Chains A and B, each alone.
Chain A
Amino acid sequence: MSTTADQIAPAHDEHHAPRGLLRWLTTTNHKEIGTLYLVFSLTMFFVGGTMALIIRAELFQPGLQIVEPYFFNQMTTMHALVMIFGAVMPAFVGLANWLIPMMIGAPDMALPRMNNWSFWIMPFAFTLLLSTLFMDGGGPAGGWTLYPPLSLQTGAAFPFVILAIHMMGVSSVMGAINVIATILNLRAPGMTLMRMPLFVWTWLITAYLLIAVMPVLAGAVTMLLTDKYFGTSFFNAAGGGDPVMFQHIFWFFGHPEVYIMILPAFGIVSQIIPTFARKPLFGYASMVYATASIAFLSFIVWGHHMFTVGMPLAGELFFMYATMLIAVPTGVKVFNWMATMWRGSMTFETPMLFAVAFVVLFTIGGFSGLMLAIAPADFQYQDTYFVVAHFHYVLVPGAVFSIMAATYYWLPKWTGHMYDEKLGRLHFWCSAIGVNVLFFPQHFLGLAGMPRRIPDYALQFAGFNMISSIGAFLFGLSQLIFLWVVIKCIRGGEPAPAKPWEGAHGLEWTLPSPAPLHTFQTPPQIDPSEAHG
């Protein structure tokens, strides 16, 4: 693209920004970067979803029908890495980009150039990660947890996987720093911390979790790399190291990581439920404190992933009670959501449907988590499908449903059009039914002893696996409806008013729909009665 005089004219470049691909490559606008993140995340959701369907297709019947066991293992590993780092986390960063400046009355993110970088690292990281599937010896197949010594047996792909993880880590750390800097420095006058919408609060706490634990993951995978190629023995018993130590370091990252994937979801649901219940959020302050205590506790419970590894009794007890303690602030949240709905004038538009389903289904995942937290019981559940059922309940109808709820809720603000409500509801019901048919039977499979991460299974597990696979295809295919609704809404539809939801509160609804590229260039006045939506 040629450079014209007015393009390099100082101070006006945002009005004459480059067009086409270059515009997206160089943008520093929080809304455009938010869109990039969301589109990337949706793409990865379909990539990871395809892998999941390969897994479920193989497990439809006992025996090996479709893929080689080794490829199956690559699919389980890659599915997790793609969904965690490529779909869920970038979706939340995208939402943060779009919404946080609008919610706190800031003109943009605090560090716009870094924002551009943190997004554009992602496509490269994932191209690298996905390309390992075509390398000699295939992609990583030892599980997303990368336990040595198994993960060290990865072929030529290994250093590329580590590099990709480093890149994702750098990207999320930069994104997190940006969120912190924006929230701490760019709030409009009068937007005190305790007036911030809960989505902003939960993201602030999430961002601190990110900068605290992503570097630990980076350290752990670096140690794997040096163990494999530079003769160190961090995790190699022959050289005085210990493979179990990897698990400690990994889960020191890993457990806060699962809260990184759920705290912003808590924020989203806390925005949506008051809107459609037409009541202010019950217990705003307790929500903030509950979020903070969950974040704090998440650093001292990692051992619940390691109950069966061999721990002294005192350790088992400590991690068991600490884990159960997390259920208390989590319970406070669920209680507050229910109290918000109690006697509200509720309506059930698509965002609310997803939010209510979130509350119910996430709670089921919380309960199975509590069962897993009972150390003696976990000896039976560990590494079975029960664990798979648990974390999918908190992640799919938990985190993913919250992202969909957020998409429907703010799509009118982003595009200026109302989405198709009929199709939205169809998408919801297909997803809600599909997800339960998919994951509920996995509880029974796990309790009956079916191990996770296996391509074949004993005959007695056949029935529930078939049901689960049917649910998987129902859930997976219904996401095409979602894609269709989103595309349709971007391309047109009934024009959306500035505030399409009668009960909504918050600064973002004071802006026209679609939100103009530049908003709150001068800080808005904060009306305290409108505070925290």
Chain B
Amino acid sequence: MNPPAPSPAVGIRRTLRSALFIVVAMFGFGFALVPLYDVLCQVTGLNGKTSGVVAQAEPMRVDEARTVTVEFVASVNLDAPWEFHPDVTKLQVHPGRFYTTHFYARNRSARAVLGQAIPSVSPGPAATHFHKIECFCFTQQGFAAGEGREMPVTFRIDPQLPADVHTVTLSYTFFRLPEQG
């Protein structure tokens, strides 16, 4: 019927090459999902990820007419030997103005430990409107055995915050970092 195809060996080699290409590309794609995921979360503020960088301190119009409640939550990762809590659990803030509040952490163990606080803002869409110019979460925090201290956060809420958001929760989880630091 049809004319005989050229020797299958050539075709097989070509198929093999393109299939292997797909395999390698998809293995790479799996890893590419990692930065992609971060970018997506950053751009959209999904997942409550605030941008890790220090916000610019340029002046903004302060919206005195609007009041937003900011709640502070502190939690400790399972095996971390901390005492960790916010000094105040709630602040009434005006968008556009800077506020500073403190969290208190104490190392309850008899050894020096290194910790890292990871912030999360909810609701998710508020995350991109939550700017921090100073935060203990920007750096790793070392604690001597039994040491405790106050750690500041300075932030402001962007006046662009969607009008239907009345309460923003800033939550920190304090993780213990591996020993060598």
Binding site for B on A (CB under 8 A): 110-111, 173, 176-177, 180-181, 184-186, 189-190, 208, 211-220, 223, 231, 234, 237-240, 242, 244-245, 248-249, 252, 310-312, 315, 525-526
Contact = CB atoms under 8 A, between A and B. Distances in A.
11 contacts: A111-B12, A173-B23, A181-B15, A185-B12, A189-B1, A215-B26, A234-B34, A238-B77, A242-B41, A248-B33, A312-B124
B4 interface: yes
B15 A212 contact: no
A-B pairs, top 8 by smallest CB distance, nearest first, are: A219-B30, A238-B175, A215-B27, A185-B11, A215-B26, A216-B30, A190-B1, A181-B15
Interface of B: 1-5, 8, 11-12, 15-16, 19-20, 22-24, 26-27, 29-31, 33-34, 37, 41, 44, 46-47, 52, 77, 116, 118, 124-125, 173, 175-178
A151 to B, nearest CB: 15
Contacts of A245: 33-34, 37
Contacts of B8: 110, 185-186
Contact of B16 (A177, A189, A219, A237): A177
B76 to A, nearest CB: 12
Chain A interface mostly helix, strand, loop or mixed? helix
B47 A310 contact: yes
A249 B12 contact: no
B43 to A, nearest CB: 13
Contacts of A310: 47
Given A216-B29, A245-B37, A237 B118 contact: yes
Contacts of B16: 111, 177, 181
Nearest to B5: A189
Contacts of B11: 184-185
Contact of A242 (B47, B77, B116): B47
Nearest to A107: B8
A255 to B, nearest CB: 15
A215 B15 contact: no
A213 B33 CA distance: 13
A216 B175 contact: no
A249 B23 contact: no
Contacts of B77: 238
Contacts of B19: 176-177, 180-181, 211
Contact of A237 (B12, B31, B37, B173): B173
Given A177-B19, A231-B178, A237-B173, A216 B37 contact: no
B47 A185 contact: no
B178 A110 contact: no
A257 to B, nearest CB: 13
Given A110-B15, A190-B1, A242-B37, A177 B20 contact: yes
A216 B26 contact: yes
A33 to B, nearest CB: 17
A310 B12 CA distance: 46
Contacts of B173: 237
A35 B106 CA distance: 64
Contacts of A249: 30, 33
A240 B119 CA distance: 10
Contact of B15 (A185, A189, A190): A185
A382 B5 CA distance: 53
A238 B37 CA distance: 17
Contact of B47 (A176, A208, A212, A244): A244
A311 B41 CA distance: 11
Contact of A238 (B12, B41, B47, B176): B176
Contacts of B4: 189
Contacts of B176: 238
